[in-house]
Amino acid sequence: MRQILRALCALLTGGFVFAGVTLQPALAAYPDKPVRIIVPFAAGGGGDILARAVLNKIAEQTGWTLVIENRAGAGGNIGTEAAARATPDGYTLNYGTNGTHGINQTLYKRPGFDAIKDFEPISRFTQIALLVVVNPSVPAKTAQELLAYLKANPGKVNVASAGNGTTSHLAQEMFRAATGVNYVHVPYRGGGPAKIDLLAGQVQMMIEIMPSVFGNVQQGQLRGLAVTTAKRWPLAPDIPTVSETIVPNFVVTAWDGLFAPKGTPREIVDTWNAAARKALTDPGLRDDLLKKGAEPSPTSSKEFADFIAAELPRWGKAVEQSGAKID
């Protein structure tokens, strides 16, 4: 009876209560058909895996039919541009990252979209730690000892990255600027080849996303000296942060989230925000994401917009300092 009375009150006030959000009558049936989520990366890659983990939980909790469309290319620009140009009716959404909605805005001369003007931020999904790792041949067992070693050996330490303009490359540029050290950047075609040479001792150091190298640290193949998050990583509490050891307030994280094309009705954005926040509080999903190296970090739509506005100049400055540019 109480549920019937609540529904009648909602009708009388001109709206419908749905997923914790009041929708106007015209939108009350949303979604009444499958919603397409464009993931601008190849199926099976890191971004695709994280996207599917969260989106599958949303589908499970809401009963919505979600169709994930992988449209890879140009560092995520091809699929993201397609999402930006889609009809803003809530039936095409975009999965984005610090790469597509941060780095690429400066790295590419013509990315094909504007991260702020072309999208309505829905919610951040996760933040992904980066880990400062060294080959065991480096005589440093703490972040403080590493900093001293780098300063004592300018230009003699080779630091690998997954490639020019990647998160691992720009993280080391931020680290270089913050510490004043001088080392040699060695770009690879992907994190895999970079890690192979790091394990072999061909290069001595890397600041890489945690999912890629944490297993090697646990096995003793690499030495993990510090994480780049604001707090210690939940699954590695013995590894300190860069902030607490050598560079106060040094925080660099990869991240991902969900976007809608600009002009999508606010009621739909809010409905998706509520669904994402609920999914990301699920204990099973949280444990799964942490094992993948990502920590659930949902936000309001405005908080996500403010976060992106702050991230853009930070990544842009790192791109400019690195000298990387793609026409």
With tokens 């993931």, the residue in question is 39
- Alpha-carbon distance of 283 to 81, in angstroms, equals 34
Residue 188 in tokens: 């690879």
pLDDT score of 46: 84
> What stretches of the chain show up as alpha helix (H) in DSSP?
2-12, 46-62, 77-84, 104-107, 143-152, 167-179, 191-200, 210-218, 242-245, 266-279, 283-291, 301-322
Beta-ladder partners of 97: 256
pLDDT score of 293: 83
Q: What is the dihedral of CA 189, 195, 198, 202, to 10 degrees?
A: -40
pLDDT score of 128: 92
pLDDT score of 27: 65
Q: What is the dihedral of CA 222, 228, 231, 236, to 10 degrees?
A: -10
Phi and psi at residue 179, to the nearest 5°: -105, -20
- Alpha-carbon distance of 232 to 306, in angstroms, equals 24
CATH number corresponding to 130-226: 3.40.190.10
Residue 310 in tokens: 């702050």
106 CB neighbour count, 10 Å cutoff? 21
- Cis peptide leading into 31, omega within 30 of 0? yes
Domain segments of the chain: what residues? 31-128+253-322, 130-226
With tokens 């980066």, the residue in question is 130
Question: Looking at domain 31-128+253-322, which CATH architecture does it have?
Answer: 3-Layer(aba) Sandwich (3.40)
pLDDT score of 266: 97
pLDDT score of 118: 98
pLDDT score of 21: 43
- Least Cα distance to 301 among 281, 276, 326 occurs for 276
Tell me the average confidence (pLDDT) per consecutive run of 10 residues in the chain, 327 residues long: 44 39 59 97 89 97 97 93 98 97 95 97 96 98 98 98 92 95 93 93 95 91 96 93 97 96 97 98 96 93 97 93 87
Between CA 229 and CA 128, with CA 181 as vertex, the angle to 5 degrees is: 20
- Alpha-carbon distance of 77 to 105, in angstroms, equals 10
Q: Which helix (H) or strand (E) holds 227?
A: strand 223-227
pLDDT score of 321: 87
Residue 221 in tokens: 């193949």
Q: 220 exposed, middle or buried (CB, 10 Å; 0-12, 13-18, 19+)?
A: exposed
On the question of a common fold for 31-128+253-322 and 130-226, the answer reads: yes
231 CB neighbour count, 10 Å cutoff? 13
Give pLDDT tens digits for 268-279: 999 999 999 999
